[in-house]
Amino acid sequence: MKDTAESYVTEDGRTIGEVILDLRGITLRFGGVEAIKNISFDIRKGEIRAIIGPNGAGKSSMLNVISGFYNPQEGEVWFRGERRPPMKPYQVARAGVARTFQNIALFEGMTVLDNIMTGRLNDMSAGLLAQAIWKGKAEREEIENRERAERIIDFLEIQHIRKTPVGRLPYGLKKRVELARALVAEPDLLLLDEPMAGMNVEEKEDMSRYILDVNDELGTTIALIEHDMGVVMDLSDRVVVMDYGRKIGDGTPDEVRGNQEVIDAYLGVAHD
């Protein structure tokens, strides 16, 4: 039902809308290695969509296709109802897709606030020359960007560390700052690459709550890669399962949990 309906309401009352990202027959090769083999799936507006699978399955490669870091040799990426031509990551970011990374990618020597502000750089319409000529416009933009950053700082409850250099923060808070930097771009689609990796139980609970709040209160559509199956099954509306570059499952957490191929390849075996 869910795959064809235009929109539906989840058990917890959220509305999942039309398809905003549609991946059709994606194949990605690195030399002789086929990292993604003819995979199709979609992501709907308002949804939390997980991509899971064993190490080396092709999950990060898939996220990199979505974010424009890799252009697939075959297949089509449709975004908001239009076929997306090959794009650079900054162009994809401008089109409304933000991401976090598996290994935290922040400026350690800069404060939390300044790191978060870098998430707005892509949207600065006043270029360097324009900034010099129309000082007023650049100043207005700077003020608006600061206000946006402060709103996200409040939302993620990191006011107390806004002036702290990121390098001094514990791991869980760094991950939250990275989330803040992605959110300040006000993305329509947020990509999270292993948001819980390396976290303790308490940090995972916090991060899960923030992800749900971002989705519910800011209305952000989220695609995430995660190895913690408890987290994945709790958070996600639908789950894609990859194995050796192929898609071996796709559906609700219950459907995926009951899929024998998925159990054999991933859920039934020990993994991190």
Q: List contacts with ligand ATP (CB under 6 A).
A: 30, 33, 35, 53, 55-61
CB of 35 to ligand ATP, least distance (A): 3
C-beta closer to ligand ATP: residue 16 or 35: 35
Rg of the chain in Å (alpha carbons): 19
Written as one letter, the residue type at 210 is Y
C-beta closer to ligand ATP: residue 58 or 195: 58
Sign of CA dihedral 104, 106, 107, 112: negative
Number of neighbouring beta carbons within 10 Å of residue 243? 19
C-beta closer to ligand ATP: residue 8 or 244: 244
The single residue listed with the structure tokens 């899971």 is 52
Residues 6+ apart with CB under 8 A from 74: 25, 26, 27, 38
The three-state secondary structure class of 207 is: helix
CB of 33 to ligand ATP, least distance (A): 5
C-beta closer to ligand ATP: residue 117 or 191: 191
Number of neighbouring beta carbons within 10 Å of residue 8? 15
C-beta closer to ligand ATP: residue 17 or 56: 56
Question: Is there a contact between 98 and 182 (Cβ–Cβ < 8 Å)?
Answer: yes
Rounded-to-5 percentages of helix, strand, coil across the chain = 40, 25, 35
CB of 133 to ligand ATP, least distance (A): 41
CB of 98 to ligand ATP, least distance (A): 19
Sign of CA dihedral 157, 161, 165, 166: negative
Residue 194 region, left (φ>0) first, then alpha (ψ -120 to 50), else beta? Answer: left
CB of 119 to ligand ATP, least distance (A): 23
C-beta closer to ligand ATP: residue 60 or 145: 60
CB of 51 to ligand ATP, least distance (A): 8
